[in-house]
């Protein structure tokens, strides 16, 4: 992009006390190099460690940091929806607060955000997870790619830069981790244009994943089938998207 855009960076955070501080500071330092108009948002999501205390300390030192604390967990999807709805800048960058991605690589996303691009999606150069998580991740990736007709190389890479005005057309509903599938599917079906860039993925140094346990995998499977029925079989969201685009005077995909 030739101009310096306004950017919101936000992180959902759940039991990320050991990493969220470095994520916020790295994001602020990066944004200061990229733009004069930015904000950082953290959506704290029912943490039981000292994440809230870390965020309160950060907020006292960084005036452009906004913290939303929810003592009752919203779910991952609920946290993302709060972040998207709270963002005020033209571009929205988000990634998780667990430091498995490097906020400084926002520079790579921004460099790919040309006039003809609406979303820049990262893809993991190499997944730094234990072997069983890599296997589950690959099975999951190929399954959802077939079920939903995804065209992206790495659908479950939560390292994205998105134009905020796409949410005038696309409305998200999921409260769980399936929101990433809902987001990409609805953006893809609405005709928005993607670019993809390689990013690094790092070993988790603090806490543990909330996804890779059997009860959650089972719930995710059920939610996945429900989402597939809604977005692929019934396709009601396509009518909703078409209506919003007509209301905004935008061309149909």
For 164-208, what is each residue's pLDDT tens digit?
A: 999 999 999 998 888 999 999 999 999 999 999 999 999 887 766
Quote the CA–CA distance of 68 and 115 in Å, as a whole number: 32
Is 93 inside any structural domain? Answer: yes
Is 177 inside any structural domain? Answer: yes
**14 pLDDT higher than 70:** yes
Residue 144 has a pLDDT of 82
Task: List the domain range (segments joined by +) for residue 127.
Answer: 7-248
Residue 17 has a pLDDT of 96
Tell me: the pLDDT tens digits for 52-96? 999 999 999 999 999 999 988 888 999 999 999 999 999 999 999
Quote the CA–CA distance of 91 and 185 in Å, as a whole number: 19
Dihedral sign for Cα atoms in the order 85, 87, 93, 99? negative
Tell me: the pLDDT tens digits for 201-228? 998 877 665 555 555 656 767 777 888 8
Mean pLDDT over residues 17-32, rounded?
97
User: How many structural domains comprise the chain?
Assistant: 1
Is 189 inside any structural domain? Answer: yes
CATH of the domain at 173: 3.90.550.10
Residue 12 has a pLDDT of 96
Is 1 inside any structural domain? Answer: no
Is 144 inside any structural domain? Answer: yes
Higher pLDDT, 241 or 161: 161
Is 64 inside any structural domain? Answer: yes
Residue 248 has a pLDDT of 83
Mean pLDDT over residues 5-22, rounded?
96
Is 137 inside any structural domain? Answer: yes
Higher pLDDT, 149 or 95: 95
* Percentage of the residues of the chain whose pLDDT score is greater than 90: 61
Q: Token match 């993809």: residue?
A: 196
Please return the burial class of 60, using the count of CB atoms within 10 Å of its CB with bins 0-12, 13-18 and 19+.
Answer: exposed
Q: Token match 């520079």: residue?
A: 107
Q: How many other C-beta atoms can be found within 10 angstroms of the C-beta atom of residue 194?
A: 18
Is 253 inside any structural domain? Answer: no
Residue 1 has a pLDDT of 55
Residue 41 has a pLDDT of 98
DSSP the chain: --S---EEEEEEESS-TTTHHHHHHHHHHHHHHH-SSEEEEEEEES-SSSHHHHHHHHHHH-TTEEEEEESS--HHHHHHHHHHHH--SSEEEEE-TTSSS-GGGHHHHHHT--TT-SEEEEEESS--S-HHHHHHHHHHHHHHHHHHT---S-TT--EEEEEGGGGGT------STTHHHHHHHHHHHTT--EEEEEE------SS--SSSSHHHHHHHHHHHHHHHIIIIII-HHHHHHHHHHHHHTPPP-
Look up the pTM and report it.
Answer: 0.86
Residue 233 has a pLDDT of 67
Residue 251 has a pLDDT of 75
* Percentage of the residues of the chain whose pLDDT score is greater than 70: 88
DSSP 117-145: -SEEEEEESS--S-HHHHHHHHHHHHHHH
Mean pLDDT over residues 96-121, rounded?
96
């Amino acid at each position: 992009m030739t101009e310096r855009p306004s950017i919101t960076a936000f992180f959902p955070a759940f039991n990320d006390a050991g990493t969220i501080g470095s994520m916020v500071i790295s994001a602020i330092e990066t944004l200061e190099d990229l733009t004069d108009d930015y904000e950082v948002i953290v959506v704290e999501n029912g943490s039981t460690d000292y994440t809230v205390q870390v965020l309160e300390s950060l907020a006292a030192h960084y005036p452009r940091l906004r913290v939303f604390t929810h003592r009752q967990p919203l779910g991952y999807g609920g946290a993302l929806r709060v972040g998207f709805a709270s963002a005020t800048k033209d571009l929205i960058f988000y990634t998780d607060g667990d430091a498995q991605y490097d906020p400084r690589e926002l520079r790579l996303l921004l460099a790919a955000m040309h006039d003809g691009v609406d979303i820049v999606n990262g893809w993991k150069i190499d997944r730094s997870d234990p072997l069983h998580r890599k296997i589950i991740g690959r099975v999951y990736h190929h399954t959802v790619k077939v079920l939903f007709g995804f065209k992206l190389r790495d659908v479950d890479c939560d390292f994205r830069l998105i134009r905020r005005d796409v949410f005038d057309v696309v409305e998200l509903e999921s409260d769980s981790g399936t929101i990433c599938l809902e987001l990409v599917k609805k953006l893809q079906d609405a005709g928005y244009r993607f670019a993809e860039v390689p990013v690094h993925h790092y070993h988790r140094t603090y806490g543990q994943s909330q996804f890779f346990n059997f009860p959650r995998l089972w719930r995710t499977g059920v939610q996945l089938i429900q989402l597939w029925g809604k977005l692929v079989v019934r396709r009601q969201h396509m009518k909703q998207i078409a209506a919003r685009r007509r209301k905004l005077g935008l061309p149909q995909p």
